[in-house]
């Protein structure tokens, strides 16, 4: 019987959750860690009750779909080893944060490009008070993050992220986080890619302002009577804003590529690098197929779930 067919009323939902309270807690923990890590919901500007509602709603939405990965526990929850239970919860937190880190790297690159270009324009000391996050933020950073968020939603980047989150229960068994060298290498690569992408984002404004500064230096040497220092501030801000407006098409196309196929491949790599190397993946197994046996977990439960996808192309 399909899991959704037995959850028609509220009482049925409560009964199923009561019988699988450990699975519900595992799913909520992974989603909660993912929510904290992603930039759109995990920032300080998002009210805590919004984050909580998203975590609860996403857990209820995914629970009927991914519950197959959590069989009936051998013992009641209150009889589980507390230390192993804590370790399993930490494992779920690490899996959720690893998925969110793949998304946050793109927005961190946007922040790097915004800060560098804003500093070149003269906004290094200027900022605006954000009443939502109660902190001083850069003007260019606000503009860049707002545009990046709109592009992310326009290209359905949130669909890819939520799809990866749901697939993570197939690819990585519950409490199956493993810290491997491949994951560390990927984090280092994401850090280097973040700075490269940030410089590419801010390159048009940075190059234009460097050329403008060179031109003003030549003018100040040729005509010393001109107070170039007084006119440089509004001139640099004007040139920077004009160049930024003219380069919006390049900015959009660059982020579209990063938030579509590149993001999907990055999330696939993250999920592959947090799972045990020797854990088999069932070829051709999808969510519509029946459950497949998996090796027993060392944690509080012994999950039986789907195998992963046969190759990365299906993602």
Distance CA 53, CA 256 (A): 29
pLDDT above 70: residue 300: no
> Residue 36 pLDDT more than 70?
yes
Question: 176, 75 in Cβ contact below 8 A?
Answer: no
CB atoms within 10 A of CB 100: 23
pLDDT given at position 71 = 58
pTM (2 d.p.): 0.73
Per residue in 168-207, pLDDT (tens digit) is: 888 887 777 888 888 888 888 888 988 999 999 999 999 9
Which of left, alpha, beta for 284 (phi over 0: left; psi -120 to 50: alpha)?
left
Q: Could you tell me the CA-to-CA distances from 12 to 6, 27, 220, 252 in Å, in that order?
A: 7, 19, 79, 47
135 vs 128: CA distance, rounded Å:
8
> What does the pLDDT look like over 81-101, one tens digit per residue?
778 888 888 988 988 888 888
Place 237 in a pLDDT band, splitting at 50, 70 and 90.
Answer: confident
Indicate the pairing of strand 135-137 with strand 128-130.
Answer: antiparallel
53-83 residue pLDDT tens? 888 888 888 887 776 666 555 556 666 777 8
The mean pLDDT value for 32-47 works out to 78
> How much is the pLDDT for 87?
85
* Angle at alpha carbon of residue 125, lines to 123 and 129, rounded to 5°: 90
Short-list 312, 291, 294, CA closest to 303: 294
Instruction: Give the residues across from 137 on adjacent strands.
Output: 128
Query: What does the pLDDT read at residue 69?
Result: 64
First to last CA, the chain: 27
The rounded distance, in Å, linking the Cα atoms of 247 and 205 is: 8
The residue whose two tokens read 């973040």 is: 194
Mean pLDDT over 295-308 rounds to 36
Q: Which residues contact 30 (CB under 8 A, 6 or more apart)?
A: 92, 93, 95, 96, 165, 168, 169
Mean pLDDT of 18-29: 81
């Amino acid at each position: 019987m399909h899991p959704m067919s037995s959850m028609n009323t509220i009482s049925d939902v409560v009964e199923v959750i009561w019988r699988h309270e450990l699975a519900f807690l595992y799913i909520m923990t992974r989603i909660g860690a993912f929510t904290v890590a992603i930039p759109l919901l995990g920032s300080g500007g998002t009210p805590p009750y919004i984050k909580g509602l998203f975590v609860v709603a996403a857990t209820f939405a995914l629970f009927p779909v991914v519950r197959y990965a959590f069989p009936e526990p051998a013992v009641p929850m209150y009889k589980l080893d507390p230390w192993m239970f804590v370790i399993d919860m930490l494992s779920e937190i690490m899996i959720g944060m690893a998925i969110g880190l793949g998304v946050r790297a793109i927005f961190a690159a946007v922040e790097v490009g915004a800060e560098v270009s804003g500093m070149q324009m003269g906004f290094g000391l200027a900022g605006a008070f954000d009443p939502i996050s109660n902190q001083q933020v850069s003007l260019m950073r606000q503009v860049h993050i707002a545009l990046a968020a709109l592009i992310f939603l326009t290209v359905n980047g949130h669909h890819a992220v939520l799809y990866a989150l749901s697939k993570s229960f197939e690819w990585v068994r519950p409490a199956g986080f493993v810290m491997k060298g491949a994951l560390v290498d990927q984090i280092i690569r994401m850090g280097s890619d973040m700075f490269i992408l940030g410089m590419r984002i801010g390159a048009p404004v940075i190059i234009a302002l460097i050329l403008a500064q060179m031109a003003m230096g030549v003018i100040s040497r040729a005509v010393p009577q001109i107070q170039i220092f007084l006119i440089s501030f509004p001139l640099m801000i004007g040139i920077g804003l004009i160049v930024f407006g003219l380069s919006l098409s390049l900015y959009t196309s660059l982020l579209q590529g990063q938030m579509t196929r590149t993001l999907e491949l990055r999330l696939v790599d993250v999920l592959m690098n947090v799972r045990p190397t020797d854990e088999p993946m069932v070829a051709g197994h999808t969510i519509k197929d029946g459950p497949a046996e998996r090796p027993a977990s060392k944690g509080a439960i012994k999950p039986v779930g789907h195998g992963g996808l046969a190759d990365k192309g299906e993602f």
